[in-house]
Chains A and B, each alone.
Chain A
């Protein structure tokens, strides 16, 4: 619990809050990118270098760009006339606050039970690669199949349909 952790936590939470509170969708996308970057830095702070750089590559490199593309393609940069929050926003806020209260209560109640190893894990990218093609090779293949199917599916869903005579 050092000062770096608090700075990164503030960056991540601030980015997340800005992402759901700002009005302009493009600003929301940029704030989401800040939250993703804060999470990647938190991963690096947790000595998970591979996951941190995967987070940067996948989220900042791909997902953030996809979100910006979707906003521009759907002309979402125009402000809606009747507010950005739904009519039942209060219910959603209460549910989210309740979920946070329960989670925080559970975490604070189990502080003594959670593991607290302090030694830095001696895990290299080499070990991760070996595990990926060894013990975890079947999930890796399934993820490859899933990514292929998702890419084809996304292209087919978003592809322009030809006008059919009715």
Chain B
């Protein structure tokens, strides 16, 4: 891979792989907390893309990608707090965090 790809392409490939791993975790695991971990990994992969484009882009002094990543980190923190609060609330009502046992809304 060396020589053929630019540094930015290397970072983008790492981010794509991390995104796919997070997606696989969110889609295949049964525990709600693991699904949230997968979503966090996907968000982090997107942040890596933003920072990499900021670093290798033509105008880093405008700070666009950097600001995007910082706001994304803040929003992800809020998402994690609400998501884990919801998991705890669901566990209190159903005494499980296994997603295929939470089928109260199934018709």
Task: Give the complex CA separation of A43 and B11 in angstroms.
Answer: 10
> By DSSP majority rule, is chain A's interface helix, strand, loop, or mixed?
helix
In-complex Cβ contact of B63 among A47, A123, A147 (8 A)? A123
Residues of A within 8 A of B (CB): 1, 5, 9, 12-13, 16-17, 19-20, 25, 28-29, 32, 35-36, 39, 42-43, 46-48, 50-51, 54-55, 58-59, 62-63, 66-67, 69-71, 73-74, 76, 80, 83-89, 91-93, 95-97, 99-100, 103-104, 107-108, 111, 114-118, 121-123, 127-128, 131-132, 136, 139, 143, 146-147, 149-151, 153-155, 157-158, 160
Q: Are B80 and A66 in touch, CB under 8 angstroms?
A: yes
Nearest CB in chain A: distance from B40 CB, A: 6
The answer to whether A48 and B77 touch across the interface, beta carbons within 8 angstroms, is no
Instruction: Verify A70–B87 contact, CB threshold 8 A.
Output: yes
A63 closest partner in B (C-beta): B80
Partner of A100, one of B1, B17, B56, B89: B17
Give the interface of B toward A (CB within 8 A). 1-2, 4-14, 16-31, 33-34, 36-38, 40-41, 44, 47-48, 51-58, 60-61, 63, 66-67, 69-71, 73-82, 84-89, 91-92, 97-100
Smallest CB-CB separation from B50: which chain A residue? A51
Residues of A within 8 A of B89 (CB): 157-158
State how many angstroms separate the Cβ of B11 from the closest Cβ of chain A.
7
Please determine whether B24 and A86 come into contact, CB atoms closer than 8 angstroms.
no
Chain B interface secondary structure, helix, strand, loop or mixed? helix
Determine if A151 and B81 form an interchain contact, defined as CB atoms under 8 angstroms apart. yes
Given A123-B61, A147-B77, A74 contacting B22 (CB threshold 8 A): no
Q: Would you give the shortest CB distance from A58 to chain B, in whole angstroms? A: 5
How many A-B residue contacts, CB cutoff 8 Å?
A: 259
Question: Are B19 and A100 interface neighbours, CB within 8 A?
Answer: yes
Q: Which residues of B contact A93 (CB under 8 A)?
A: 24, 27-28
In-complex Cβ contact of B9 among A36, A99, A114 (8 A): A114
Given contacts A5-B7, A70-B87, A115-B58, list 19 more A-B pairs with CB under 8 A.
Answer: A13-B14, A28-B34, A29-B37, A42-B11, A43-B51, A50-B70, A51-B73, A59-B40, A59-B73, A84-B31, A92-B26, A93-B24, A97-B20, A103-B16, A111-B5, A116-B6, A127-B63, A154-B82, A157-B82
User: How far, in angstroms, from A103 to B86 measured CA to CA in the complex?
Assistant: 32
- Chain B residue contacts of A104, Cβ below 8 A: 13, 16-17
Closest chain-A Cβ to B9's Cβ sits at a distance in Å of 5
